[in-house]
Amino acid sequence: MLSLTLGLIAALCWGVHDVCVRFAATRCGPATAFLCVLAIGALALAPLMFLPGQGGDLSANSLLLAVISGFCYATGGYSLYRAFEIGPVRLVAPVVGAYPVLSVLWATVQGTPPSLPQIGAVAAIVAGVGLNAVLSEGHEQESGPDGTDRVRRALSWSLAASAGFA
């Protein structure tokens, strides 16, 4: 029950984050906005490294995996911010929010098919993100030649973000 509660809190925070990023990225640029988020996160988490039993000896493989994981997250994060700078939340959020589908597909390709509860969780996530997209207000202008290009670029950055997070 605790993990479900924490998951719901995380999803709510992520949704608030997405809406805030949409406005911040258009005002200060995606790189600045993302750097601020990473810096605040690092400051909040750094003290935890000094707790007993944390941050012990890392093997070379663990360190390499951490670096690759960090690069993928940074790529996904920057792509997310770029997508929100260009496109509307109702387009970007569902594509990025569907990254669990890619994670499950990747695990399946590696020989670990998802369990029924995992499939249900992914379906719930995709449904929730889709509902968010449907209920989002569409104030952004997307028609015209520039609008089509903006949608295409936002979709490309959204797919890159989804892949990075997966």
Average pLDDT, stretch 50-68? 75
Check whether 49 has a pLDDT greater than 80: no
Q: By C-alpha distance, which of 152, 136, 151, 134 is closest to 18? A: 136
Percent of all residues in the chain with a pLDDT value above 70, rounded to a whole number: 90
Q: Which residues contact 107 (CB under 8 A, 6 or more apart)?
A: 113, 114
By mean pLDDT, which of 61-65, 129-133, 143-147, 149-153 is the weakest?
143-147
In tens, the pLDDT along 93-115 reads 888 888 888 888 888 999 999 88
Q: pTM, whole model, 2 decimals?
A: 0.69
Average pLDDT, stretch 56-76? 82
